[in-house]
Structure 1
Amino acid sequence: MTWGRDAQHMPRTAINLYSVRNLDADLESVLRRVADAGYDGVQFAGDYSPLHAEPATVAATLRQLDLAVAPPHVDLETLRTDREAIREAFAPLEVDAIVLPWLDEAHFASAEAVDAIADDLAALESALEADGLDLLYHNHDHEYTALEEGAAYDRFLRQTTVGIELDVGWALVGGDDPARRIRNLGDRVGQLHMKDMTTGSEPTFTELGEGDVDIAACVDAAREVDVDWLIYEHDDPDDPAASLERGATALEGRG
């Protein structure tokens, strides 16, 4: 896989719908909130997804609202066993990549475990490529498990060719420097999860600008390497509707 973008551009903004999973609202209503808040697009995840709705209806709503679609999150089991459902759900939306949002800790517990999942992902990449889809991976903090040679995440990056959706909050909690990582990844990082967190013995989720992540430095790095999307995510907002609005305001002018 060759990752690259032809011309420098400004990233677009989106929200990952995991952030609002606790809203008592249907998908169309949520998409209207996203558009009204001022995001350029949306990232489908969890139950808020064309995998659980009528894709043609979702596509029509997106066109009406002038919302673009960032590569969506799809779990490993669905990627392995139900690619027909993925094709049906996302083909009407002209999606060209899928994000694997989670691999459990066991896959990063040793060099052998990392190599084994790297082989699995190579096969999955080939299968998705036949459908015109690239594969990206979204990190948490457990990928930074210390191996003899260094962090498991570094071995994972060397052993795979998948694109990267870097979650800057979890990267910081894992001991990484997110801005430096973005620059080192270069055109392999297609999009960022803009998540703020506090670090320490019990990391917590915060609104953008209220935690320990240097959001401005991450945005500067994103612009340098032509990242496509800045995607707001808050794993546990007290008020999902208000968080949706605050995320858009915090990203305003950054995309």
Structure 2
Amino acid sequence: MSPENLPSIFTTEMLCRIGGPVPDAKAASRRAHAGVLAEHLPALMQRFEIDRPLRMAHFTGQMAHESDSFCTMEEYASGAAYEGRADLGNLHVGDGKRFKGRGPFQLTGRGNYRAFTSWMREYVSADAPDFEGRPELVLADRWVAYSPIYFWITRGLNRHADRDDILAVTRIINGGRNGLEDRKVKLGRAKAEIAKAMASATLDTGRDEWPILHRGLMDDKGVERLQYWLAKAGYTLAIDGDFGPATELALKDWQRRKGLPPTGIANGATWVMLTGD
């Protein structure tokens, strides 16, 4: 699968799995929100270069946390706590509630709605709505996927995702470490889902002895063979059949050194170069 097509792997079901279990009462709304995002996000992620596995995983994992596992696109609280917050641009009576958190990353405050409008009109369409004038439009199906893209790109979060630095990403999104453990869980789910989707979309070579392998496989003879060849290439690994973080990191490093896409997935091209066959 070529890098420019990677965001197309996201589906409603995948986003729901990244979000994890939710109460039955929230399941319908979660599926509806995830469906809208799955329809609109892939093209935007491709356009704004959130199109590598780590970038995609951090982006969707953080969205899952901020949106209560995609159960809501609007802050549950009334927004009254933001009243009078000059740092958010809330200078008028009622701004706290009017400019409460909306969208997957909870766009909050008059100043941020104004900045979002400017960004949309510069990078998307000169005819984009005035979101400061009509803040509820952030939630419209046509526009709701843009606000997390805006936040991610304007804060330069791709570079932190490239380093797999969840703490830096979390601090920029939330201002601290709030919900860090849940963010880590959702990031882990996102990485696993992306790896599985990439593996299933990778063309096999037609040779049974060259299985497609990815992180998450356990007690697998193919993984043992992969670990054997990586160890032979100089990597210190336990040959235990478990495709965990150490095996993935070693494989990515080896692929990078050999000029292959560092996907961390063993496909036919990887096997041919690794085994010399």
Under TM normalisation by the shorter chain, which class is it? under 0.3
Q: Compare the two structures and name the one with the higher strand fraction.
A: 1
Look at both structures and tell me which one has the larger radius of gyration over its CA atoms: 2
Taking structure 1 as the reference length, what is the TM-score of the superposition? Answer: 0.22
Q: Compare the two structures and name the one with the higher helix fraction.
A: 2
Greater relative CO, 1 or 2 (CA 8 Å, sep 6+): 1
